[in-house]
Amino acid sequence: MDRKAVSMWKVTRNLILTDVCAIALYWLIPSAKMLVLLLSVLCAIGYMLWLGRCFLNDCKADLPNEDYQRIAAEFGFDACFTVCGQTYPRKVDARILNCLSSMAQSVYRMANDIRLLQHDRQLEEPFEEHQIGSSAMAYKRNPMRCERICSLSRYLMADAMNAPMTASVQWMERTLDDSANRRLSMPEGFLCADAILRLAQNVTDGLRVNEKVVDKTIREYMPFLATENLMMEGVKRGGDRQALHEIIRTCSMAATARMKEGEPCDLLSRLAAEPAFGMTEAEMEAVLDPKLYIGRCPEQGDAFLAQVRPLLSGASREVPEISL
């Protein structure tokens, strides 16, 4: 028992003993009835005043530091707000919704990139056997899941603006116009985040990478990507950088115009025909290895996976259900 409990027990014990003695005197000495009655009343009044003082002292001194912490612990919280009026600081809502908005921004970017890459079939989101890709054009495979992710992410990012606007206008902490707003923005924010993550998990679990299409696209545009390296190689062989730059510009425009007519890219043969480069087409082909243009992507990818794998090890592998 703490010190206050012990003190209260002692006062209560003494009051009980006093009352017992008063009752005994009341029956043993009839002439002292009024004195005994007065003594009992005074003891009861003193006890009530002492309890009142203890209660006021608790409210003024100990409640914020001790009892508040104990009450918070009973509800499963390890801390409470030091300064708080009739409502908790609404910046808490802003921080929560900003976290959800940050998640939506990341997933939005991923889904949007997948949509861009699916238009020429480099990547494809999952597609069920009997799924309808388009209600009008039966041959299409619209990226419905990624489109839905982008749509919901936009809503969640906009929903997060409710909290900072509410937190910044509190009217000396005497307004309650935040109540109706947060009853919508907070639950809908979490429901929207849940839907986004379910869709994202479904997309990533069944994402298909068409490697041959990726390789074909890279091979087609690799000559354009390699022009800077070709120019520097030509400079090493005695060419003038500015002159080589102009040759690359004119040849690239001509090759692009030819590709727009449905013809294959002939940029390398055009550059090899220029004496200023001093290189054969076979030598230029050696510069087109795609692995020379990925930088530190493999190392960065491995480092990132090493960071996230421990986080994913305890994640549930349950496949979320979504409606198509």
Residue 302's pLDDT band (cuts 50, 70, 90): very high
Residue 19 has pLDDT above 80, yes or no: no
The pLDDT value given to residue 77: 87
The pLDDT value given to residue 254: 95
pLDDT digits (tens, 9 = 90+) for 83-133: 777 778 888 999 999 999 999 999 999 999 999 999 989 999 998 877 777
Q: Distance between CA atoms of 192 and 199, rounded to whole angstroms?
A: 11
Residue 322 inside a domain? The answer is no
Give the domain-ending residue among 158, 189, 212: 212
Residue 72 has pLDDT above 90, yes or no: no
How many other CB atoms sit within 10 Å of the CB of residue 10?
10
Q: Distance between CA atoms of 287 and 230, rounded to whole angstroms?
A: 7
**Packing angle between helix 178-205 and helix 91-118, nearest 10 degrees?**
30
* 319 or 205, which is more confident: 205
Residue 11 has pLDDT above 60, yes or no: no
Residue 15 inside a domain? The answer is yes
Residues 230 and 160 in one domain: no
pLDDT digits (tens, 9 = 90+) for 211-269: 999 999 999 999 999 999 999 999 999 999 999 999 999 999 999 999 999 999 999 99
Residue 273 inside a domain? The answer is yes
Q: Residues 111, 197: contact at Cβ < 8 Å?
A: no
Amino acid (1-letter code) at residue 224? F
* 285 or 21, which is more confident: 285
Give the domain-ending residue among 212, 243, 262: 212
Q: CA–CA distance from 28 to each of 5, 39, 44, 119 (Å)? A: 35, 16, 22, 106
Residues 115 and 24 in one domain: no
Q: Residues 105, 153: contact at Cβ < 8 Å?
A: yes
Residue 122 inside a domain? The answer is yes
> Residue holding tokens 């379910």?
198
The pLDDT value given to residue 32: 59
Residue 86 inside a domain? The answer is no
The pLDDT value given to residue 179: 83
Chain-wide mean pLDDT for the chain? 83
Q: Rounded to the nearest 5 degrees, what angle is found at the Cα of 272, between the Cα atoms of 269 and 277?
A: 155
Residue 56 has pLDDT above 60, yes or no: no
Residues 235 and 204 in one domain: no
Is residue 200 packed enough to be buried (19+ CB in 10 Å), middle (13-18) or exposed (0-12)?
buried
**Residue 189 contacts by C-beta under 8 Å, 6 or more apart in sequence?**
96, 97, 100, 156, 159, 160
Residues 225 and 184 in one domain: no
Give the domain-ending residue among 156, 184, 212: 212
Residues 48 and 154 in one domain: no
- Which residue range(s) make up the domain with 165? 91-129+138-212
Residues 224 and 265 in one domain: yes
What's the domain count of the chain? Answer: 3
End-to-end CA distance of the chain: 62
Helix (H) or strand (E) run with residue 208 in it: strand 208-209
Residues 69 and 148 in one domain: no
Residues 52 and 102 in one domain: no
Residue 57 has pLDDT above 70, yes or no: no
Residue 320 inside a domain? The answer is no
Q: What is the CATH number of the domain that holds 175?
A: 1.20.200.10
Residues 62 and 112 in one domain: no
Q: What is the CATH number of the domain that holds 264?
A: 1.10.40.30
The reply to whether the predicted model has a pTM over 0.75 is no
Residue 58 inside a domain? The answer is yes
> Residue holding tokens 């009892």?
67
